[in-house]
Amino acid sequence: MKLTAVELGKKIKAGEVKVADAVRACLDRIEKLESDINAFVTVDGEHAMEQAEEIQRKIDSGELTGPLAGVPVAIKDNMCTKGLLTSCSSKILSNFIPTYTAEAVLKLKEAGAVIIGKTNMDEFAMGSTTETSYYGATQNPWDVKRVPGGSSGGSAAAVSAEEVPYALGSDTGGSIRQPAAFCGVTGIKPTYGRVSRYGLIAYGSSLDQIGPIAKDVTDCATVLEIICQHDDKDSTSYDAEKGYTGNGITDTGSDFTSALVDDVKGMKIGIPRDYFGEGIDEDVKKSVLEAADVLKQKGAVVEEFDLGMVEYAIPAYYIIASAEASSNLERFDGVKYGYRTSEYTDLHNMYKKSRSEGFGDEVKRRIMLGSFVLSSGYYDAYYVKALKTKALIKKAFDDAFAKYDVILGPVAPTTALMKGESLSDPLKMYLGDIYTVSVNLAGIPGISLPCGFDRNGMPVGLQLLGQTFDEKSIIRAAYAYECSREYKRPATLTERGL
């Protein structure tokens, strides 16, 4: 289970490992670790074993030849899986069995992935700690007293704890990158539109993107290559055949694995000074700047610059994401599916009670915030202004990418917090998103990968950002950096002989 997804895929292909053995190994590990980690909402063991047999046959017959054929995967619980509970870690969907499978998940299935189960998350992906789940908090494999980050905390913890080689997460304001950083693994948030959102239960529709979480850059690039395809069912899905026009931006292609080269000579890397001001932990700062030095030594041209607009990202993000969420979550009303209150007097009472009982505090907070900013009289002052801010943030990035291939900085101002620390102070939790939310507002791609440890031995994440449809530059830079260090698994696992 120490293998990466691609390494395991090679062994399966070579006949050295049977798919069933790989699946069983995952299930055994989940059995051993779940009481400590709680990374999964649902483990679909029996069905996974059945799938394993079928996929093994297809591999043996030469029907499946891809790099991830037979490799087990875990899916964040906000992506629809036909016949399998998809709860968004919410009480209101605690009985929801979808009738169809999300497009990104289908792509993995077609490539021979075996779905082990569905991973825990902050309720409806609203949170940065995976503590707001109806199914209980997920623990960080590096230190179970700490949070794994969020909202894809279950996916990041499952990969970190080696319960699965890789997982899918979703990122609306940092929900792939921040938990990857907190758990010492790697994750990519692709350009908005790269991966179909069809079947991803929406939080902030204009910001949501599905992406991979794995142990290394190679795995992430390989997974992204599979799930990144145009989908007619998603109007915002990017069609490479039609290309992209606007702002002189060019699609550098979706053959991401071709960017896995240890060469950054002449690559221009910018470090925003405004990312290292007040609030950043000294150990985080140190590790990130050391990573920049590594790239510099490898021949990259690294310099500091002022990005601008940084302080406006959080308010703009929370207005836009909450506004969209307030509308997206209206369909959860107890009428068609999901939780319905047991006693009610009339229709409106049923709505009110089902939603009051079905949603948790953080979700209610954002629905209220979103409803407020969209209400008449406030729409222009908040929502329209936030959209204008979003455009300015995008422009700030465009200006930066006119000079640099890649922007380098931290993923979060701190490493993983102690459990309970941010639940009591939502505003503090929101401020932790300062380096990630602007990326979603701008729609650009970002990668998060481990770059060291703080004084408590908790992993620090390095964030590399690229221009729209230029995942390849950040994959190349990340890969080159990764080549300079060894992958570190959580010490607690080694200590316990796991």
Q: Which stretch binds other proteins (CB under 8 A): 173-181, 192-200, 247-255, 467-475?
A: 192-200
Q: Which stretch binds other proteins (CB under 8 A): 210-218, 233-241, 255-263, 436-444?
A: 233-241
Nearest to other proteins of 199, 211 (CB atom) = 199
Q: How far apart are CA 334 and CA 328, in angstroms?
A: 15
Q: Is 35 annotated in the active site?
A: no
Q: 407: which 2 tokens?
A: 């922007």
Exactly one of 65, 95, 236, 247 binds other proteins (CB under 8 A); which one?
236
Q: Check: CB of residue 150 under 8 Å from CB of residue 204.
A: no
CA neighbours closer than 13 Å in the CB half-sphere of residue 123: 22
DSSP per residue, 439-497: HHHHT--EEEEEEEE-TTS-EEEEEEEE-TT-HHHHHHHHHHHHTTS-----HHHHHTT
Q: How far apart are CA 91 and CA 361, in angstroms?
A: 12
Task: Report if residue 235 touches other proteins, rule: CB under 8 A.
Answer: yes
Of residues 40, 148, 165, the one with CA closest to residue 458: 148
Q: Which stretch binds other proteins (CB under 8 A): 231-239, 260-268, 356-364, 490-498?
A: 231-239
Task: Report if residue 437 touches other proteins, rule: CB under 8 A.
Answer: no
Q: 247: which 2 tokens?
A: 């702002």
The single residue of 128, 175, 237, 326 carrying the catalytic annotation is: 175
Least separation, in Å, of the C-beta of 310 and other proteins?
24
The single residue of 90, 151, 196, 254 carrying the catalytic annotation is: 151
Least separation, in Å, of the C-beta of 330 and other proteins?
4
Nearest to other proteins of 35, 376 (CB atom) = 376
Exactly one of 49, 85, 374, 498 binds other proteins (CB under 8 A); which one?
374
Nearest to other proteins of 23, 41 (CB atom) = 41
**What length does the chain have?**
498
Give me Rg for the CA atoms of the chain.
21
Exactly one of 337, 344, 453, 487 binds other proteins (CB under 8 A); which one?
337
Task: Report if residue 327 touches other proteins, rule: CB under 8 A.
Answer: yes
Least separation, in Å, of the C-beta of 200 and other proteins?
6
Least separation, in Å, of the C-beta of 68 and other proteins?
23
Task: Report if residue 330 touches other proteins, rule: CB under 8 A.
Answer: yes
Indicate the SS3 state at residue 115.
Answer: strand
CA neighbours closer than 13 Å in the CB half-sphere of residue 269: 29
123: left (phi over 0), alpha (psi -120 to 50) or beta: beta
Please, what is the end-to-end C-alpha distance for the chain in angstroms?
A: 10
CA angle 232, 238, 240 (to 5 degrees): 100
Q: How far is CA 417 from the centre of its chain?
A: 18
Exactly one of 134, 135, 198, 275 binds other proteins (CB under 8 A); which one?
198
Task: Report if residue 228 touches other proteins, rule: CB under 8 A.
Answer: no
Task: Report if residue 200 touches other proteins, rule: CB under 8 A.
Answer: yes
Nearest to other proteins of 22, 106 (CB atom) = 106
Q: Is 175 annotated in the active site?
A: yes
Q: Which stretch binds other proteins (CB under 8 A): 157-165, 320-328, 388-396, 433-441?
A: 320-328
Exactly one of 305, 371, 487, 488 binds other proteins (CB under 8 A); which one?
371
Size of residue set near other proteins by CB under 8 A: 44
Task: Report if residue 460 touches other proteins, rule: CB under 8 A.
Answer: no
> Which residues neighbour 233 within 8 Å (Cβ) at sequence distance 6 or greater?
103, 196, 198
At 51, which helix (H) or strand (E)? helix 45-60
Task: Report if residue 34 touches other proteins, rule: CB under 8 A.
Answer: no
Exactly one of 326, 436, 440, 467 binds other proteins (CB under 8 A); which one?
326
Exactly one of 324, 362, 433, 471 binds other proteins (CB under 8 A); which one?
324
* Residues 247-306, interacting with other proteins (CB under 8 A): none
Least separation, in Å, of the C-beta of 164 and other proteins?
22
Q: Is 428 annotated in the active site?
A: no
Q: 467: which 2 tokens?
A: 């221009």
Least separation, in Å, of the C-beta of 78 and other proteins?
8
Q: How far apart are CA 181 and CA 177, in angstroms?
A: 6
Q: How far apart are CA 395 and CA 358, in angstroms?
A: 40
Least separation, in Å, of the C-beta of 337 and other proteins?
8
Q: Which stretch binds other proteins (CB under 8 A): 111-119, 247-255, 282-290, 330-338?
A: 330-338
Q: Check: CB of residue 190 under 8 Å from CB of residue 228.
A: yes
- In the β-sheet with 40-43, what is the strand arrangement from edge to edge? 40-43, 114-119, 72-76, 166-171, 209-214, 186-189, 446-453, 459-466, 406-410, 268-272, 301-305
* Residues 55-114, interacting with other proteins (CB under 8 A): 79-80, 86, 88, 93, 96, 98-100, 102
Which residues are known to be catalytic? 76, 151, 175
Interaction site with other proteins (CB under 8 A)? 79-80, 86, 88, 93, 96, 98-100, 102, 197-202, 204-206, 232-236, 323-324, 326-327, 330-333, 335-337, 347-348, 351, 371, 374-376, 379, 383
